[in-house]
Every structure is written in C-alpha cells, then in structure tokens.
A and B are shown apart, each in its own frame.
Chain A
Amino acid sequence: MATTATPTDTAIDVRDLVVERGGRRVLDGVSCAVGRGTVTGLLGPSGSGKTTLMRAVVGVQTIRAGRVTVLGRPAGSPALRRTVGYLTQAPSVYADLTVRENARYFAALHGRGRAEADRAVADVGLADAAGQLVATLSGGQRSRASLACVLVGRPELVVLDEPTVGQDPVLRAELWTRFHAMAAEGTTLLVSSHVMDEAARCDRLLLVREGRLVADDTPAAVRARTGTDDLEEAFLRLIRASEDHPPDRRAPHPQRPDDTRAAQRRRPGREETS
C-alpha cells in the first residue's frame, strides 16, 4: 500500500496550531509530536479542545494558523485517506445496516475483503451481533461497530475519539490490549479519554485544557513531576500550576479546580463541543 514520503519516527507533528470556532479560540497555539508505533492518550475535560485537535490531525478541521504534519504529509492530504483511520465520538455507522454490512462497506472502501471485515467485527467483540441492525444495538456496541469500521482499513495512524465510552470494564481492558498489540505491529494510536485509569495505559500523555497543552510526557514523568502516583491528582496539580502561572494575558479561569475534578469523573455527554 501507500508508503509515506518521509519515513521518520514522528507520526504526528503539530506546530503552533490555532483553531477558532464561532469566534472562540478552541486551540490556542498547540505544539506536540506523536511518535510512530506508540499509544498516545489525549486527556482533558469536556470542551477542552480534544476533539478539535483530533479533527485537525485527521484533516477535517479548518485551522486558523499553524501546521499539522501527519506521516510526513500535511494533514488532510489525499494520500492520507488510505493510511489514517478516524473514529468520531458519536458512532458514525449506518443504523439501518447490520454490523457486518457496515464493516464490509468500509472494508470495500479500503480495498479489503469480506473476510477481513468479519475479522474486524470479531476483534471488537461483536461476532455474535454481526447480523444485527446497528439501530438495535446498545450504545457501547454501536461505538464498537464504529471502531470495527476504522480498524478494517488497517490504518497506519488511528485517531480514536473516546473509543471506550459506555464499554464494560472487561471489554475496555480487551480493547486496550488490542490497541497495544496494534502499536507493537507499528500502528500509531492517538486515543482521547475522560477516564484517568486509561491514561496509565498510554505510552505518552497529552493533557489539554482550555485549548492549551498543559502536559506532554510519559505517565511516569507526569507522576514524578507532580510528586503523586495518582494520575488524576497529578493532572489536578498540573492544571493548578498552569492556572497559577497563566502563560498569557488570559483572565483567570472562573472554574475552581474541584469543578474540574468533578467534570473529569462525570460520564461524558454524547456530544462534546467538537
């Protein structure tokens, strides 16, 4: 299949990214890099800009300024449509088709066969529901059906927006095992989450808050820097630190840290301001 123009160790390179939506700055000068074959967690409260950052990486977001390079090409390049897979937060599959029919369609778009589609369905634990209409599935099953339609293309870079929402703990663990198996085979994964115990499973963490990058480090380094083993507590400390020393002319945030903690524990709404 398609090879990338400049084979380097960097899968995603974001430089000074600014995105404005409806007159509001959603991303305010974000710079970060994601290495190939890693699982990178994108964390932050609802509305922090996670989805917008992912959309910019996939190339579907209009950007105001900055540069996003993906697998050596500008984000959104036609060649990347074969190598980048994107799971939107709301499951975007056809409700009036069965799980199998959905997977086979997306497989066909990537030139993959029916056997591969059926395997992708089994890989997300939906083999028993393959013949079921998506409309009749539970929320968690639906989002796994959507995931199957991403994985069936065997992308080099997988961008997953909240893939484990609504999944039971056993399935969540299985999905993470699968993500790491994919990374071991060279796939790069960028995964957003609200759940802090998932942060610990990532090779690297990006913490976004109010459109800015608060942390970009390994879980171990984050723990060491903040002096706590609890990643949730670590993030709170990082956020407090960033509020004590605001990096620009922004007004102090009205939200108290305690609210942030509550927001991170809350079940995320289906529709994040994306």
Chain B
Amino acid sequence: MSPRILAATTGRILRQLRHDRRTVVLLVVVPTVLLVLIHAMYADQPTPPGQRSLFDQVALVMLGFFPFVVMFLVTSIAMLRERTSGTLERLLTTPLRRLDLLFGYGIAFGLAGAVQAGIASAAAYWLLGLRTAGSIRLVVLIAAVNAVLAVALGLLCSAFARTEFQAVQFMPVVVLPQVLLCGLFVPRGQMAGWLQAISDVLPLSYAVEALQEVGAHAEPTGLMWRDLVIVAGSAVVALVLAAATLRRRSG
C-alpha cells in the first residue's frame, strides 16, 4: 500500500459522498428519527425487574445496527458503480494497488459510519435519555468498527452482483440473518444449539455482545475488547477476500 495513494483514494470517496447532499442528510437524520420511534414504542412497556429498561437494551443495539446496515448498502452500490462505470478497470491500470482502493473505502465509509453513530448516540443519550453503565465513547467506537466490517462485507459482496438490483438483494442475505441471530430478539444463550452455532460465526453477534458489555459494565471488559478484536479481524479478512475478487485482467 502507498500512504499517498490511500489518502488520495479516501479523500476522493469522501468528496463523492459530499457531493451527494441528500445521502448525507439521510445518513445523519434517519437513525435519530428511528430512535425517536423506538423510544415512543417502548415508552409504556414495563421494565423487567432487575434489568435495564427495554428502550435502553434495544436502542443500544440499534446504535450498532444503523451504520452496519447503511454502510453495507452504500458500499455495495458504490463498488458496483466502480465496476460498471469502468473506473475500476481504469484504476487497475494505474499505480494504485488493490488494497489502496479497498482500505480507502474502509476508511472513508468507516468515518462516515462513525459520524453517523456519533450523531445517533448523542441523540440517544441526550435527547432520549439512553442510559448505559459504560461510556458513550465506547459505544461510538464499537459502532465505527462495525461500520468498517459492513464496508468490508459490502466490498466483498459487490463482486457477486452484476446489477444494482442484485447488490441490494445481498442485504437480506448477508445482513438480516446477522441481525436476527445476534441476540437482540432471543438471547443467544436461549437459542437452539444449531442456531447458536450459526450465531457464533456471524461477526455482528460479537459487535452486539460488545455493546451489551458497555451497557452492563462501567469499565471496558476483557470480553468487550475480545469481541471488538473479532469484529475488526472479520473486517480485515473480508477486505483481503475482496482484494482477491479484483482482477486486473478479464476476458
């Protein structure tokens, strides 16, 4: 990798995003609107004895979901555009290396995801009264790493889509099972063994567990750091696999 080319590529991707004002507004506003909705939904639900309120439990996990879902979609489409517009082929004839491009996407959209998570977290804590034992900074950090994971998965999946329609279909295939099995709807410990086994190999499960650790403990726990490393490691693996899908020569 070349730091100069990586920086130029990251800047270029962020500049593209900046020109798309409507997307920027949607990225920033939608999570907050949905959090307000969730807050209203759970307003009259009784808090289970000895537990945190349902809103606190759900909203915390949602802060990890938003950048995961959104950055996966944004990245899949952006990378598909690179492939279909010919810019990818052109880039591969320049001194740019494949990892310069993929890490450029990881950093650019990871940053966008961090900003999104930061704004959504600020709204959740200060507007809607979300309470966690641990720090909001850890929540944003986990959400940002989760965004990078989503970018990496999006880059990988875009290689298997020829059209935007197909790319969007990878959302229910790749993202939804992770959301269903991450432990929000049914605690992972209460799932059937085979479901747990699937949940264990899905990286989002670890992001959610890390967030729940922040919810329950005032100080960062060893389990939280381990989970965060697993999520980051999964992102790197997905990026390297995505690099293998970028072919300089084609038929």
Contact = CB atoms under 8 A, between A and B. Distances in A.
A97 B19 contact: yes
Residue among B8, B20, B90, B249 facing the most chain A CB atoms (10 A cut-off): B90
Given A108-B4, A108-B5, A60 B92 contact: yes
A101 B87 contact: no
Contacts of A106: 94
23 contacts: A58-B93, A59-B249, A60-B92, A60-B93, A60-B249, A61-B251, A62-B251, A76-B248, A81-B93, A85-B93, A86-B90, A88-B86, A90-B85, A92-B86, A92-B90, A106-B94, A108-B8, A109-B94, A109-B95, A110-B95, A111-B4, A111-B95, A133-B19
Nearest to B90: A92
Interface residues of A, number: 32
B250 interface: yes
A88 B89 contact: yes
A250 B4 CA distance: 52
A84 interface: yes
Interface of B: 4-5, 8-9, 11-12, 15-16, 19-20, 85-87, 89-96, 248-251
Interface of A: 21-22, 58-62, 76, 81-82, 84-86, 88, 90-97, 101, 105-106, 108-111, 133, 149, 153
Contact of B249 (A76, A108, A109): A76
Given A61-B250, A90-B86, A108-B5, A81 B95 contact: yes
Contact of A60 (B11, B16, B248): B248
Contacts of A60: 89, 92-93, 248-250
Contacts of A93: 87
Contacts of A153: 94
Given A21-B251, A88-B86, A101 B12 contact: yes
Given A110-B94, A149-B90, 16 more contacts: A60-B249, A61-B250, A62-B250, A62-B251, A76-B249, A81-B94, A82-B95, A85-B93, A88-B90, A90-B85, A90-B86, A92-B87, A94-B16, A110-B95, A111-B95, A133-B19
A94 B16 CA distance: 8
B42 to A, nearest CB: 39
Contacts of A81: 93-95
A23 to B, nearest CB: 10
A149 B86 CA distance: 13
A105 B12 contact: yes
